Structure 1
């Protein structure tokens, strides 16, 4: 069977089919209707050959085809200090859930995409392009409804996942970011956040993801030190309902560097 599908190869296919119609039900909220959706995709790779196949696919086929469809600012990253073969992480932004839902059928009609991506799309089981793909579909936060791109230049990125013990804890943590001012603190202190998103389909739910960026690891350390000592952060985090012990059960941080062709 050919791997002709850009989205169907991920774990989102079946789950999305069940949940997507529900996301458009009910009345729209003017405050939230322009929030973007993000596909956060992690490729598990066993060797450099697989990494080369996936990277060539994004550079030569996927990103150009997505850009033609109006899907801009696609990010592709590798780990800075992988424990083995680096995973490859792709961030694909969509203006609406309808764009996400229709992208596969549109790509399947793009002959240039199918030709440029043939080595990846049609890789046989005996020489697969990757071991597995882990995907999450995220919805942007109300207080940061779209991507914010950092300035051009050499930078490192930190992708953070906060897992919650319950859905209620997730609601409170998003409230802390959106309404209590935590996102504003990140911006004021120069973290230059790229996105914040709630996971609506994916593993380890309930959780949220966000990405921040720094000049280097020394800047990373200094920024987080400043954050921990910030008076406004101390004020917010001292509120009993916002205690990390109540809201966050696990934090996973991954340090990334953008591929040469990455649009983020």
Structure 2
């Protein structure tokens, strides 16, 4: 396995009532475009509250060959004509987004 890759954990809080629209946007556009632009889709999850009910938050993990590769992938993703059209012509579905880069521990199965 490639031990130099880095992981990026991203969290998107949907506009209230728009989690399904956000999931559709990721399923139909963002996730395939991530792969097209060199990112590896590791997993996508909807966060659960303390009662086990779905929230309005999407959490996902992608992998990059390096931090430099991440920067290049995101730049090409944001400029991709398909994504520009989706973002420009689509409804507002994201209220807030955060991102953190992660380095897997030496015993992680994801190295």
Question: What is the TM-score when the length of structure 1 is the normalising length?
Answer: 0.38
Question: What is the TM-score when the length of structure 2 is the normalising length?
Answer: 0.86
Q: Deviations over 1:160-179 (max 9, x none)?
A: 0001231x21111101111x
Q: Which runs of 5+ in 2 are unaligned?
A: none
Looking at structure 2, the residues matched to 208 and 240 of structure 1 have their Cα atoms a distance apart, in angstroms, of 18
Counterpart of 1:259 in structure 2 is: 105
Aligned-residue Cα RMSD (Å) equals 1.5
Q: Which runs of 5+ in 1 are unaligned?
A: 1-150
Shift of residue 248, structure 1, vs aligned partner? 1.1
1:163 to 1, 6, 13: 13
Counterpart of 2:21 in structure 1 is: 172
1:207 to 2:37 alignment = no
Runs (4+) off by over 6 Å:
none
Larger radius of gyration: 1
1:255 alignment partner, SS class? strand
Looking at structure 2, the residues matched to 165 and 181 of structure 1 have their Cα atoms a distance apart, in angstroms, of 18
Equivalent pairs, count: 106
> Which is bigger in relative contact order (C-alpha 8 A, separation at least 6)?
2
